[in-house]
Chains A and B, each alone.
Chain A
Amino acid sequence: MLDLKLLRDLRNMKGQMTAVVLVMACGLTMMIMARGLVVTLETTERNYYTSSRFADLFCDLKRAPRFVETRLGEISGVAALETSVKGTVVLDLPGMKQPADGVIHSLPDGRPRRLNRLVLKAGRLPGTDSRDEVVVSAGFADAHGFRPGDPLDFTVYGVRRRFRIVGVAVSPEYVYETRPGEMLPDPRRFAVLWMGERELSRALDLDGAFNSVAFRLAPGADPENIKAAVDRILEPYGGLSSYGRTRHPSAKLLRDEITQLRGFSIAFPAVFLSIAAFMVSAVLTRLVRLQREQIAQMKAFGYSPFAVGFHYVKFALVAVGVATLLSATLGMWAGSAFVSLYRRFFQFPSLQFVPDWRALAAALGASALTSVLGVLGAVRQAASLPPAEAMRPEAPARFTPTFLERIGLHGLVPPSFRMALRNMERKPWQALFTAVGLAFATAIPILPGVMGDGVDYLVDFQWNRAQRQDAVVSLIEPGDNGAFLSLSRLPGVLFAEPFRAVPVRLLHGHRQWETAITGLPASPRLNRLLDEREREVPLPSFGLLLSEKLAELLHLVPGDEVRVEVREGRRPVLHTVVSGTIMDFSGVSAYMEIDALRRLLGEGDTVNGAYLKVDPFYWDAFWKRVKGIPRIGTVTTTSGAKENFSRTTEEMMGTSQALYFVFAVIVSFGVIYNGARIALSERARDLATLRVLGFTRREVATILVLELALLTALSIAPGLYLGARLSEAVLATANTETMRFPLVLTTRTYVVAVLTVLASSFFSFAVVGRRVARLDLQAVLKSAE
């Protein structure tokens, strides 16, 4: 019978219960979606890495003869290893004036790879002793619609040939398929290719040698010892530092994504569930107060305090149950939507959303716990009410003058304001929680704004202010001044700036970082180095400029000494100082004045390539010429990079932005609607009395919402502050050495946040205001409170 009462009561409070359920569902949806994505990515990652025998350790080198492989295999703790050759290619693609570039890896002839096995999505691997057969990465194939059987023209090591695509595959090394040193996939202009080892070795002039090696470690092996051994053995062969999965570009990006999702799956639900718990608490405390007489009767009829208490807990449990059902559906739907987005960025053999059932149980548990905690006070009140006392109406509410009045400012506000202020002072917790909910409602829409503005700022900073070149051309092998001059004489080139890049290891105390030092003219006109206030930072004749992030990673400040170990040529070691830091948003780099770098390397006028300013009328001629120069390794254009960045981030962020926005609207509407309904219920008699005394509906509605309007107004400033800090925290989770987003807070973002919360407030005021018309005026004449 009590359950029948429960159902009827629930029906009577369906508006409020809906508000509670929606807010709860926001938190749970986020939790179920994010946890599901974590499990999806982790499971897929684990299964893929295991089945494809993804390596634990990687090392690139200049060239080592085959027999070195035996010595590497003898390192204690190495379970398996695979040597290979790899190089860069320039592709001439049908319908594209601009060449694309890519990396090409070898596949062992006559046997499957021991490590980093490919998974074919179509076609086959190249046959033994095949000629001109190539496998292409799935991302690239999809972007161009390539299928097995299609021809593919590319230049490898200066020789342009026509190949035939025999297979389309994915590789655990390229789950995140990006150009080395870049942070976003660019499948239109970047390709990963594989071909038979013998053929590729010949093409790269690496017959009987290898320039890349991957290791699988035995369980329990110490990776640091193995790394040291590998580096020692490969050093004479031009070995760069070996690195584990934590530095592997693709593996690391995937890990970063999972870590970020895991953070979201806890932080956001916690906020939403706390707000929902407070809402449940407020609704049920009010219900218990309204049902004092019923509670007394139930107890008088012999229901135990526990039965009565549990009856009210059930209200919370029903809300939790409905919210869980709703959010399970929404969470899975949103999760699947994100998975199809992920399929575009992460190249797995297959990626299917895996719901995290344990998370669903945890979600149910977490929300049940928070809402039961929320109603505990009200339930204890209901359970402990002695029947006789409960039969009497509650004692009249006691009010006292507010703080403002005690300090003599009461004359400043009219009585209706005083009602609101005194209500707030009388129930400070209710006011506080409402304000906190509203502050979050104001804060949440700031996030999508900050994301969008951050991207805009980044694009503007990176490609309009810092980098003023139209194209970057890199040579396959370093060249001399003659090579630079030939680049500067390409058709349409208005201005050229040389650069020299060498791989280095930077050391400071026990910290070290593998990166490259880029040598630039003292005051670059194209690739400019700027500080956080967008001021040009000139390169000193002595010392290094570091990305701010790199300085942070190495705990360096300007003036500190740093050890530089060059990883190519005769491998000089230098002690120099950090002369300053510069602002950049992707990757971490070190810069030196180009001649200082050349002196350090003991070389003349060597260049790795040039930054070019190109006359837009000469692009066709420029490309035509570039395609014919075999020494050119890669050519990237600023407009292409900019366009790819904007498109990709838009795709990635659009969905999250929309999600945050919807959540913000639900929270602000939910909190205000709920608050207004409770205020209406608590003050129905007062409001009806005012109506009898001649107040219009509008005046009464104003008095009703005044308190909430005041709370809304009061919570806007803290909400904006909270939003800024929240955005900072979210951006901090995305702040890695691969990628940083600047925190850009614009007036527009703040205005949108304020308008969002005001619009949903006005909407809920309007909805509740309509109920003022339904107040029973005649009943108040007769009824005692």
Chain B
Amino acid sequence: MTTASSPPLYRARGITKVYFPGEEMEVRALDGVDLDLHEGELAVLLGASGSGKSTLLNILGGLDVPTGGTLFYRDRDLTDADERDLTLFRRDVAGFVFQFYNLIPSLTARENVALITEIAPNPMPPEEALGLVGLADRMDAFPSQLSGGQQQRVAVARAIAKRPEVLLCDEPTGALDVNTGITVLEALERVNRELGTLVVLITHNAAIAAMADRVISLSAGRIVSVAPNATRVPARSLSW
């Protein structure tokens, strides 16, 4: 569901990210990236290791700032944002799902979600978030009592409970087997569909690209192709 007619949420122009500039070991992780991302869109960033997709996700998520170019989120200039602004951006706008779940082991599923809803301005109840990812019956389990897929779904619930406008997922199925991975992708699909959240998903698994509105391929820090899918394949029909 691409709404190209409305103004994009993210507007990136000529973004570069250079590590160790001027030194012998200088690395150009991003080398002039232009990209628009729209509300309600599900975009997959595809690329090999070292292609720059993680760097791009970090910059989109407000974990880092570009070395050059401009980046806007709505009217918010993220190009030179300071630490405080970036923290506020992550707190109010973006949700994150990590490859290794990153749940707090000393808190139950419900509490992991509640930890975030406590600091969010307009959250949904933790129970509702867990219900959306199909974990209504495991709310009082500790992470060590949950399977990998269940833990990742708690992570998704934690990310969406604050009703973020954008959900950034870094290899969310990277540590999971196919069936479990698909349950997690279904949860993301549902969030995208029902809440209209922009979902940006990093993967090196080309099969997952079929569920996206657009597939953005990166190589050596550049976008090499942007391929819209005519129809999105539902997550449950995917296989790899």
Contacts and interface: CB of A to CB of B under 8 A. Distances in A.
B58 A778 contact: yes
B106 A423 contact: yes
A194 to B, nearest CB: 78
Task: Pick the most buried of A415, A685, A783: most chain B CB atoms within 10 A of its CB.
Answer: A415
Contact of B104 (A686, A691, A696, A783): A686
A692 interface: yes
B142 A398 contact: yes
B36 interface: no
B90 interface: yes
B144 A780 contact: no
B105 A693 contact: no
A699 B98 CA distance: 21
B114 interface: yes
B100 A784 contact: yes
Contacts of A414: 118
A689 B154 CA distance: 14
A690 B107 CA distance: 13
Interface string B53-72: 01001100101100000000
A781 B54 contact: yes
Contact of B99 (A397, A686, A695, A781): A781
- Using C-beta atoms within 8 Å of the partner chain, give the interface range for chain B: 35 or more
A781 B144 contact: no
Contacts of B106: 397, 399, 418-419, 422-423, 426
Given A422-B106, A693-B116, A784-B175, A396 B144 contact: yes
Nearest to B145: A398
A782 B102 contact: no
B240 to A, nearest CB: 21
Contact of B91 (A398, A419, A695, A781): A695
B90 A694 contact: yes
A286 to B, nearest CB: 16
B94 to A, nearest CB: 8
B111 interface: yes
Task: Pick the most buried of A400, A414, A777: most chain B CB atoms within 10 A of its CB.
Answer: A777
Contacts of A426: 106
B114 A415 contact: yes
B115 interface: yes
A396 B105 contact: yes
A420 to B, nearest CB: 9
A3 interface: no
Interface string A148-170: 00000000000000000000000
B140 to A, nearest CB: 8
Contacts of A690: 104, 115
A694 B61 CA distance: 10
B127 interface: no
B170 interface: yes
Contacts of B92: 694
B3 interface: no
B96 interface: yes
A74 interface: no
Contact of A781 (B114, B118, B119, B170): B170
B96 A781 contact: yes
A785 B102 CA distance: 9
A329 interface: no
A780 B119 contact: no
Interface of B: 54, 57-58, 61, 63-64, 83-84, 87-88, 90-92, 94, 96, 98-100, 102, 104-107, 111-112, 114-116, 118-119, 142-144, 158-159, 170, 175
9 contacts: A397-B106, A414-B118, A686-B105, A692-B61, A692-B63, A693-B90, A693-B91, A695-B119, A781-B98
The 10 A-B residue pairs whose C-beta atoms are closest, nearest first, are: A694-B91, A694-B90, A689-B102, A422-B106, A397-B105, A415-B111, A415-B115, A398-B144, A399-B106, A784-B100
Interface of A: 395-400, 414-416, 418-419, 422-423, 426, 685-686, 689-697, 699, 777-778, 780-785
Given A418-B111, A685-B102, 20 more contacts: A396-B144, A397-B106, A397-B144, A398-B144, A399-B105, A414-B118, A415-B111, A416-B115, A426-B106, A686-B102, A686-B104, A692-B63, A692-B96, A692-B98, A693-B159, A695-B119, A778-B58, A780-B98, A781-B63, A782-B99
